[in-house]
Structures are given as structure tokens and as C-alpha cells.
Amino acid sequence: MQLTDKQKKYGLIAIGVIVVGTGAYYIYQKAKSASPGASASDPTGNGTVANPTAPVQVFNPVRIAEDLYDAMKGAGYASFYNPNERDQIFKALEPVKTEAQFKQVSDKFGRRSYHTWYGNQVNWNPFGPLPLEPLKVWLATELEYADYARLKKKYPNYL
């Protein structure tokens, strides 16, 4: 099969467009990764890092809300049925330093199906769903009084 001059011309143009497009893509990606902004060592993107060798806990309210749900979703309470649940709850709340951050986590947690006597997976009523409860109710029910009081002292306006 012989290519005509017109086909050769279009073929060369297509190859040129592909080469230029690929080159531009890689240059853009390199410039994008080198640009200043938030990173693991500088989560605020303002160029100041207190201790660059220290592990950085970036505040992510969605992840924290899901970690809290995963810790509390089983039936039972933190003290008796699942002794690790208390530790999981407090580990999930470690990055939450202020009340404003806790409010963000609470808002992302929202209201989820929960039975205050049996845990969120148990529903003895086949004719209706479990009531939707906020994070405040989940924590008050799952934690022992002393642990909940400790959290309430840290976040008094939202617990």
C-alpha cells in the first residue's frame, strides 16, 4: 500500500501534535508538582513548617467521621463488649484540636441510624428504621461517663 503525499503530510502533522501534546503534558505535571501549596510537610501551604521531621496529622473531617463510625458501628459499648473501641475512638479524635474542628467532624458525621440500647446494627422493630442520631448521642452512649466527660470538657459547646 502506497501512501499519497497528502496522507504523508497528515500523518506527520498527527505525529507532531502527539509529540507536542505529550511534551506539554509532562511539562505541566512537573510545574504543577513544583508549585507551592499544601503538602505533607506543610499542610497549610504558607511555607512555614515547625518541625519538618515530625509526622504531620492533617485534619480531614470526613476521614475522622468515618473512623469514628467504624469504631462505634458494632453492637455493644466501649467498656464491656469491645475494650478496643474506646482506644479507636480517642485515636480517631487525636487530630481534632479545636471546637471548630470538632464541629466540622460532627457535621460530616451527620445523623446515622443508631439504637441507644443495642448499638446501631440492632433493630428489634421490623416495621420501622432505627432512629437517626448525631455524633453527640453516639459518643455519650458508647463511652463510659468519665471518658465522655473528658471529651465534653474539651468540646463543651458541641457535646
- What are the sequence ranges of the domains in the chain? 1-34, 61-154
pLDDT value of residue 150? 92
Query: Hey, how many other C-beta atoms are within 10 angstroms of the C-beta on 89?
Result: 20
Predicted local distance difference test score (pLDDT) of residue 56 = 59
What pLDDT shows up at residue 144? 85
pLDDT digits (tens, 9 = 90+) for 10-54: 888 999 999 888 888 878 777 655 545 555 555 555 555 556 565
- The answer to whether the beta carbons of residues 89 and 83 sit under 8 Å apart is no
CA 149-154-155 angle, to 5 degrees, is 95
Measured between alpha carbons, how far is 155 from 159 in angstroms, rounded to an integer?
6
Per-residue cell: 3: 501512501
Q: What is the pTM of this model?
A: 0.60
What's the pLDDT score for residue 3? Answer: 81
CA 97 from centroid of its chain's CA atoms: 16
